[in-house]
């Protein structure tokens, strides 16, 4: 398969890297499009969330793959990410989830980005810039129905939207949305959010205020909640082949997009009773063979994985022993030697992904680290070189 290393200015191949499978990404996009049609009565498709370097997968390359799949809308965090996409030549609609600073208004208008509006001062700044440029700006209004983060309080929603319509004629009220904070753990609360949000949208329609896009479904919302109101979904983690809830595996078939691979850089025998790594938190109970891999917490492999995680060597799960250090981890490969193949310098070990039928998932890594799969992908993918396969 064709592959390339993206913008990491390396003179030699790194001993540790992320493999990004663009075919898997395209497959997941297609499957999520079908799921949106199934779960939303008036589906306009999905808006893939590619913020934070596409969850560590590389925003520009992910956007390029999705563009070839026919994607019409991207979701990013801020103006800086949106501008990067514009400068790379992408013409899709780009929604900014985070656009609350008045100082960003000029860039938003200049680069034809679609801001989220949840404060009047930002709306007024956008109106002024649009008027000066002799143009209009499409905006999406965010309502806070339970997240407690960004958004217009639902009790103030009607007055806020009416103010935008009367005071900001250069703003096109293109979309309205909210966000689900507990879709995976509190179904009753989430259904209550949907009802309250629907009531607000219907009240606005009664005042002849309608929106092209009405959305709330993140990955969990798209996968587990049907709606005749929403017409756009915003999948993030599922786009990259990771399920927010195991139950969703029965509803949609996804393929993990990221794997993390490391070359073994050193192998040695550790005698019984010897300690390993800082603090000697691990001591060998018998003679063991260990391999050193060039990955550590500076590369996004969290220190909390010390003495808890496993990697794959020759298709065998081998435990990480001792503390994770800044640039390296030490792995007990004794079990791999019993498989008939003695690990040696240069062999590949799999940190995340599959090898010889065995697998280590992002969810497992997250469990061992005491975090979530989202953080694992962002952490590893944003600090290691990425090799793309298409």
**Contact in structure between 325 and 278 (CB atoms under 8 Å):** yes
Instruction: Using alpha carbons, list the distances in angstroms from residue 56 to 25, 64, 82, 148, 378.
Output: 13, 15, 16, 26, 4
| Active-site residue, from 23, 91, 226, 278 | 278
- 56: exposed, middle or buried (Cβ count in 10 Å: 0-12, 13-18, 19+): buried
Question: What's the token pair of residue 305?
Answer: 């994985």
| Active-site residue, from 51, 55, 177, 243 | 51
Is position 356 annotated as part of the catalytic site? no
Question: What's the token pair of residue 136?
Answer: 């209009």
Question: DSSP class of residue 301?
Answer: -
The owner of tokens 């395209």 is 26
Distance CA 343, CA 267 (A): 8
- 386 phi and psi angles, rounded to 5 deg: -115, 135
Is position 249 annotated as part of the catalytic site? no
Within 10 A of 221 (CB to CB), how many other CB atoms are there? Answer: 25
**Residue from 187, 190, 212 nearest 201 by CA:** 212
- List the catalytic residues: 51, 278
């Amino acid at each position: 398969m064709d592959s390339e290393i993206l913008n990491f200015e390396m003179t030699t191949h790194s001993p540790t890297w992320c493999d990004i499978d663009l075919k898997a990404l395209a497959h997941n996009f297609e499957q999520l499009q079908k799921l949106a049609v199934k779960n939303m009565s008036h589906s306009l498709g999905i808006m893939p969330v590619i913020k934070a370097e596409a969850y560590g997968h590389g925003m520009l390359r992910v956007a390029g793959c999705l563009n070839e799949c026919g994607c019409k809308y991207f979701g990013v965090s801020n103006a800086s990410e949106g501008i990067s996409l514009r400068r790379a030549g992408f013409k899709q609609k780009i929604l900014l989830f985070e656009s609350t600073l008045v100082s960003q208004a000029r860039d938003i208008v200049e680069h034809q980005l679609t801001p989220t509006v949840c404060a009047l001062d930002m709306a007024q700044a956008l109106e002024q810039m649009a008027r000066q440029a002799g143009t209009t700006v499409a905006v999406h209004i965010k309502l806070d129905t339970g997240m407690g983060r960004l958004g217009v309080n639902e009790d103030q929603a009607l007055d806020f939207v009416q103010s935008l319509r009367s005071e900001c004629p250069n703003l096109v009220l293109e979309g309205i949305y909210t966000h689900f904070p507990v879709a995976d753990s509190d179904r009753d609360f989430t259904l209550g959010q949907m009802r309250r949000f629907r009531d607000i949208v219907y009240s606005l329609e009664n005042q002849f205020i309608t929106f092209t896009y009405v959305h709330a479904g993140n990955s969990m919302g798209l996968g587990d909640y049907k709606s005749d109101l929403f017409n756009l979904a915003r999948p993030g983690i599922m786009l990259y082949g990771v399920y927010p809830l195991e139950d969703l595996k029965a509803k949609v078939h996804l393929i993990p997009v990221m794997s993390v691979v490391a070359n073994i850089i050193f192998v040695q025998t550790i005698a019984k009773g010897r300690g390993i790594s800082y603090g000697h938190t691990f001591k060998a109970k018998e003679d063991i063979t260990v391999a050193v891999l060039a990955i550590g917490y500076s590369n996004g492999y969290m220190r909390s994985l010390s003495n808890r995680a496993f990697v794959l060597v020759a298709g065998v799960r081998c435990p990480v022993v001792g503390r994770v250090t800044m640039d390296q981890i030490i792995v007990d490969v004794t079990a791999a030697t019993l498989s008939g193949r003695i690990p040696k310098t240069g062999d590949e070990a799999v940190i995340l992904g599959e090898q010889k039928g065995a697998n280590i998932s992002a969810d497992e890594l997250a469990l061992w680290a005491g975090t979530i799969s989202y953080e694992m992908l962002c952490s590893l993918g944003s600090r290691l070189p990425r090799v793309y396969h298409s």
